Structure 1
Amino acid sequence: MSCDHPRKVVRKFLARPQHEGAGAVVRRSIGRFELKYFDPFLVLDEFSLCAPAGFPDHPHRGFETVTYMLQGAITHEDFEGHKGTIGVGDLQWMTAGRGVVHSEMPASNGTQKGLQLWINLSSTHKMIEPRYQELDSSNIAEATEDGVTVRVIAGESLGISSPIYTRTPTMFLDFTLEPGAQLQQPIPESWNAFVYVLEGEGVFGKSKSSPTSAHNLLLLGPGNGLNAWNKSSKMLRFILVGGEPLEEPVVQWGPFVMNTQEEIDQTIQDYENFENGFEKARYWRSEATQDNDY
């Protein structure tokens, strides 16, 4: 499908490593000083961790976290008793809503790598009950056409779609382009969208643009689609993410994202007093946290 008004790259960021959690390293592109927020996206991290480093027990409220594994595996536990392992190519779409306390820790030896995207929730959804949507790698829709392979995490591409339900309308596509391949991917015109390059180098927006290599985030301007080319001799892999802007006030305090300072103050009070969604946090500690004595 052609795009009669392709989007151009309007800003470019190199995501540099920084420390988060307990010894973990992340390359943060959205949610840092230069790009605090890209409505409706709050954070994009490409994380890397080796045991015992990880993300021990911590809370969330007011948004969703999307975890997509690229290498290794992590174990997730929360204070509701939900526990599981997310392996290579697996997806966890967690709606924190009114409150979740959980941990995310290495499940195997070696280096674990993945992406975590935080998607804001509208004011009407911020205090809904938490829920999970999880897909094993084998259940993620995948298609190949003319040297382009796509894994559809959310939304649709190349005639296939994801079963993931997105409260904040979102597309999340994992593309691999063979040398010489070209992509034309439609994007709803009213949405914000970006590209994050995982491997290789690609040309995005205009065919005469300079190639962009791994760990770079590209913000896309207005239009109804993305054109991309792999003009190199190696494979190109990137994600294309788009979402409908909420156009609401954003007040963030660490892992809490609400619409007003009063709501943030209430959230901190709820968490400290184990109330209004955080009741089970009073006596809960994850097995991983106990084992590592964080």
Structure 2
Amino acid sequence: MEHQQNLFQRRIRDKWTVQYEEFGFPSIQKGWVLPVDRWKDFDPFILMAEDWFKKGTFPDHPHRGFQTVTYVVDGRLEHIDNGGGRDILEPGDVQYMNAGWAARHAEDGVENDIAHTLQLWLNLPKDQRNTDTIYQNVYGEEAPTVQIDGGYLKVFSGTIAGKEGPLNSLVPITLTEINLSEGAEYVHHLPENHNAFLYTLSGSADVADGTVNKHDVATLTFEEDGDPEALSTLRIKAHKRRTRLLVYSGEPIREEIVPYGPFVMSSMEEIKQAYRDFHQGKFGPPAE
């Protein structure tokens, strides 16, 4: 206990409730969990979108210069890429993509399902923007489960509670799904130098020095020049049964970026070059 008291204790830095906009068929609704215009606050994360959509919303399209981490909340998500990959992800599954120098894929609802997803854009250091394109599916049952008093954790990425998640991003991150029953208390540990945020999928909880409810986002304080080997604590107490939180963390990259359309580069000239390369066929054939 004394050792834990010496650890950096996380606090809520900022908090907001996601606002949603309705769209016409086949897209249904979108909300910005992390709005793109605040990427400097979220570094190494760029944005996170929450979407409800049916088949035909995200057909074949390109990406370059960043990574994505997509969590399926509900429905089924079919992923197709032009490297021959095709799979269906179900609730609780996660897909990682390193777009690298040239990804071309499609993400769609399956049959009549309404896919409900959270897609996080994760930055790449500029010297890794030309890396090979990689896709990795992490099915919910493959994520190690840690039983805790009044609930359980699912570790998708990073080392949490002595378990290592299977997701292997080029920029190391942690991603943990925390499930708690009413009244359960849990202390989450993260590297103290990681920028971190959480999203409330369901229920309600006291988190550090504040309270979050369903659809609430909270960014957390961290030690910007901290020791990457040192841990910090995040105290959580659930107020409702079936409280479920996603906690993300990553070490800031501290480089200027230009997010524009489906690309994230270091300058507008590089963005224009990405569009030229796509139109010249350098991203390969369509994903279909």
Distance in structure 1 (CA, Å) of the matches to 2:106 and 2:85: 11
User: Which consecutive segments of 4 or more residues in structure 1 shift more than 4 A?
Assistant: 19-22
Distance in structure 2 (CA, Å) of the matches to 1:23 and 1:271: 25
- Scaled by the length of structure 1, the TM-score of the pair is 0.87
The yes-or-no answer on 1:7 pairing with 2:10 is yes
Structure 1, unmatched stretches of 5+, are 287-294
Q: Which residue of 1 aligns with 2:226?
A: none
- Which residue of 37, 43, 53 corresponds with 2:47? 43
The yes-or-no answer on 1:244 pairing with 2:251 is yes
Q: Which residue of 1 aligns with 2:208?
A: 205
Q: Which residue of 2 aligns with 1:136?
A: 139
1:36 Cα deviation after fit:
4.1
1:19 Cα deviation after fit:
5.5
Distance in structure 2 (CA, Å) of the matches to 1:22 and 1:258: 30
- Which residue of 225, 249, 260 corresponds with 2:233? 225
Listed one character per residue, the Cα deviations across residues 248-282 of structure 1 (whole Å, up to 9, x for unaligned) are: 1111111100112221121121112122xx1x23x
1:1-294 correspondence to structure 2 within 5 Å:
2=4, 4-18=7-21, 23-33=27-37, 35-37=38-40, 38-49=42-53, 51-206=54-209, 209=210, 211-222=211-222, 224-230=232-238, 232-275=239-282, 278=283, 280-281=284-285, 284=286, 286=288
CA RMSD, Structure 1 to Structure 2 (Å):
1.9
Listed one character per residue, the Cα deviations across residues 206-244 of structure 1 (whole Å, up to 9, x for unaligned) are: 2xx3x21111110101252211111x2422111110001
Distance in structure 1 (CA, Å) of the matches to 2:84 and 2:104: 11
Name the SS of the counterpart of 1:64 in structure 2: strand
Contact 2:138 2:166 survives alignment (8 Å): no
Q: Which residue of 2 aligns with 1:291?
A: none
1:175 Cα deviation after fit:
0.4
Contact 2:27 2:52 survives alignment (8 Å): no
Distance in structure 1 (CA, Å) of the matches to 2:151 and 2:10: 19
Contact 1:24 1:53 survives alignment (8 Å): no
Name the SS of the counterpart of 2:83 in structure 1: coil
Contact 2:142 2:166 survives alignment (8 Å): no
Name the SS of the counterpart of 2:276 in structure 1: helix
Amino acid at match of 2:50: E
Which has the larger displacement, 239-248 or 72-81?
72-81
Distance in structure 2 (CA, Å) of the matches to 1:52 and 1:164: 26
Amino acid at match of 1:272: H
Distance in structure 1 (CA, Å) of the matches to 2:85 and 2:277: 21
Contact 2:124 2:171 survives alignment (8 Å): yes
Q: Percent identity?
A: 29
Name the SS of the counterpart of 2:278 in structure 1: helix
Contact 2:76 2:113 survives alignment (8 Å): no
Q: Which residue of 2 aligns with 1:290?
A: none
Amino acid at match of 2:46: L
Name the SS of the counterpart of 2:9 in structure 1: coil
Distance in structure 2 (CA, Å) of the matches to 1:148 and 1:5: 24
Amino acid at match of 2:117: G
1:131 Cα deviation after fit:
0.9
Name the SS of the counterpart of 1:265 in structure 2: helix
Distance in structure 2 (CA, Å) of the matches to 1:274 and 1:171: 35
Aligned length: 275
Q: Which residue of 1 aligns with 2:228?
A: none
